[in-house]
Structure 1
Amino acid sequence: MKNVLKLIYLTVIFNTVNLTIAQDFSGKAIYQSKIKLERNDGEIKSSGNVEFDELFQNELEKVSRKTYSLTFNKMESLFEEEQKLEPIGKSDSGMTISISRGGKKYMDRKVKKQIFEEEIFEKEYLITDELKNWDWQLKKETKKIGEYFCYKAVTIIKISTAQKEEYQDYLKNKFNLRTNLFPMNEPKDKIVSAWYTLEIPVNHGPGKYSGLPGLILEINDGEVTFLCNKVVLNSEAKVKIKAPHTGKVLTQKEFDKEQKIKMDSMKDKNGNIIYRTFTN
């Protein structure tokens, strides 16, 4: 307990000393993401075709790694995927796979607002809500990430009612489902581990995460890991960050409801997803 209290005390002192510096503090952090891919517990079911399974696994490994940037100043941040010239997942095998992690994520700590881009069947949405207040538990573990000394923090994400309902629907219909490469596993609470540095005195982080005493350089929610491999700081020039502005504005609850309606409209009476193709 003494160590934790000492850490909190040092955090307050450090941030106080750096308050003047942080007024116009800005920068850009580059993150590499990696999605956990394991062929167990039915997470990825075999198609029965060895050659196809190998091609599928290879392409999945490629698209599971992406590069993101986090542009930030003292109060605002914008997290987005770095654009590539070549289509994601395109290869000589002729197979194309795309894994979506959502669009841009904007946060404004001054007005306590967050705006996340999402998409349903090519229709754009802006999920606008109050800034989430994460219940972080500061730990005494430390490590270095690059040149930065980092502290550990942990939070728990409880499974939502929507996740429970979706899984119950899946259980009711699973005996009628056709072969699926991605069967649904029972949703569980997520333990999220973060590593942040007091050397960069902003409360931002990758993805939807924020609210720690320093910049989050690494985060792992059990499924996806974001690891920072480069930070460029600028304490002189002011960085202007533009919030996403294209799309239908909804709250997260409204978006979840609309998404469920869209998905349900694609299912037959047995819960199977119906794919329709059209020819001229």
Structure 2
Amino acid sequence: MKNLFKVIYLTIILTTVNLTVAQNFKGKAIYQSKIKSEETVGEIKSEKDAEFDKAFQKEWEKVSQKTYSLSFNKTESLFEEEQKLEPVGQSDSGMTISITISGDGKKYMNRKVQKQIFEGEIFEKKYLITDELTNWDWQLKEETKIIGDYLCYKAEIVIQVTAAQKEEYQDYLKNKFKQKTNLFEMDEPKNNIVTAWYTLEIPVNHGPDKYSGLPGLILELNDGEVTFLCSKVVLNSEDKVKIKAPNEGKVLTQKEFDKEEKKKMDSMKDKDGNVIFRTSN
């Protein structure tokens, strides 16, 4: 009987310890991103301005590859770019080009309260895009591969073309033959497959960018345009993991933000539907 009590007592202690460890579980993952630049750069060109093309190419090489960090515990995560000081891109001719990648702000998610807060920006005006946590319809696959020291499993989701994307493409077709220059080329929008590789060895539902919801940490993700690859994971470090939701900017839902962004872009178009750009020398 005494031995039975000892077994029960030890089981209670081990269970309590495991629960405490799970509650205090924390980590930080570092990701390298790479944009499919051969397609993206091909969409933006200037037939009459070689100076613009050269300056744009130089700046694009810097912004197409970045480093991000994902700080997380069991219920929260914060995805943000690792900041580094660099001068504004400038070509030999003196033209200044500055490129900002849309959706590059901080992304905070809280699975406990099912809430997400993303930083947004429209021409230097800050926004807080606040919505219920997105529940992605992941399809789990049997394929596996090794990333670093972790066995990873494949998962996919299909992102359907939105009504806004279809409308934007129709506007492009209407204005295509009116344009005097051919700065932007647009392909017909199609359904997009997002591929993720996650590991069960790190049992959290987090991942890079806006993606989450798998039964393990996402170590690699390809959304068709950008690839995020984890280069380092630190778990339960003695260093404090800071996870703070963004709190600066006007609060909007994603739909409201998209509407505001479209309104601003439309205001920059001329009568032929061309977006007006201003460059500095």
Tell me the TM-score range normalised by the shorter chain.
0.7 to 0.9
Q: Tell me the residue number matched to 1:129.
A: 131
Change (3 A) 1:124 1:237: same
Q: Secondary structure at the match of 2:231?
A: strand
Query: CA contact under 8 A between 1:64 and 1:99: conserved in structure 2?
Result: no
Aligned-pair CA distance for 1:82: 0.6
Change (3 A) 1:52 1:272: closer
Q: Secondary structure at the match of 1:245?
A: coil
Query: CA contact under 8 A between 2:128 and 2:251: conserved in structure 1?
Result: yes
Q: Distance in 1 between matches of 2:261 and 2:46?
A: 28
Query: CA contact under 8 A between 2:58 and 2:91: conserved in structure 1?
Result: no
- What letter matches 2:197 in structure 1? W
Q: Distance in 2 between matches of 1:32 and 1:89?
A: 21
Aligned-pair CA distance for 1:51: 7.2
- The yes-or-no answer on 1:200 pairing with 2:202 is yes
Q: Distance in 1 between matches of 2:91 and 2:234?
A: 33
Q: Secondary structure at the match of 1:179?
A: coil
- What letter matches 2:87 in structure 1? P
Deviates more, 1:75-84 or 1:181-190: 181-190
Structure 1 counterpart of 2:164, from 154, 162, 165:
162
Aligned-pair CA distance for 1:238: 6.4
Change (3 A) 1:213 1:133: same
Q: Tell me the residue number matched to 2:140.
A: 138
Query: CA contact under 8 A between 1:63 and 1:89: conserved in structure 2?
Result: no
Q: Tell me the residue number matched to 1:115.
A: 117
Q: Deviations over 1:185-213 (max 9, x none)?
A: 21111100000011111000000000000
Q: Secondary structure at the match of 1:176?
A: coil
Q: Distance in 1 between matches of 2:24 and 2:88?
A: 36
Q: Distance in 2 between matches of 1:53 and 1:237?
A: 45
Aligned-pair CA distance for 1:22: 2.6
**Structure 1: where are the runs of 5+ without partners?**
1-17
Aligned-pair CA distance for 1:121: 1.1
Q: Deviations over 1:69-104 (max 9, x none)?
A: 101011000001110021364576755342414210
Structure 2 counterpart of 1:218, from 217, 220, 224:
220
- What letter matches 1:30 in structure 2? I
Q: Tell me the residue number matched to 1:86.
A: 86
Q: Tell me the residue number matched to 1:61.
A: 61
Q: Distance in 2 between matches of 1:91 and 1:85?
A: 18
Q: Distance in 1 between matches of 2:97 and 2:182?
A: 17
Q: Secondary structure at the match of 1:38?
A: helix
Q: Distance in 2 between matches of 1:63 and 1:42?
A: 16
Change (3 A) 1:193 1:20: farther
Q: Tell me the residue number matched to 2:75.
A: 75
State the TM-score, normalized to the length of structure 1. Answer: 0.84
Change (3 A) 1:262 1:130: same
Q: Distance in 1 between matches of 2:100 and 2:277?
A: 19
Q: Deviations over 1:142-172 (max 9, x none)?
A: 1111111100000011111111111111111
Change (3 A) 1:96 1:53: closer
Aligned-pair CA distance for 1:258: 1.2
Q: Distance in 1 between matches of 2:222 and 2:93?
A: 31
Larger gyration radius, structure 1 or structure 2: 2
Aligned-pair CA distance for 1:174: 1.1
Deviates more, 1:252-261 or 1:237-246: 237-246
Q: Distance in 2 between matches of 1:92 and 1:69?
A: 33
How many equivalent pairs are there? 261
Q: Tell me the residue number matched to 1:3.
A: none
Query: CA contact under 8 A between 2:55 and 2:90: conserved in structure 1?
Result: no
Q: Tell me the residue number matched to 1:247.
A: 249
Q: Distance in 2 between matches of 1:253 and 1:40?
A: 25
- What letter matches 2:101 in structure 1? S
- The yes-or-no answer on 1:38 pairing with 2:38 is yes
Change (3 A) 1:39 1:210: closer
Aligned-pair CA distance for 1:266: 1.6
- Percent of aligned positions that are identical: 76
Q: Distance in 2 between matches of 1:20 and 1:149?
A: 26
**Structure 2: where are the runs of 5+ without partners?**
1-17
Change (3 A) 1:85 1:65: same
Aligned-pair CA distance for 1:67: 0.5
Deviates more, 1:27-36 or 1:181-190: 181-190
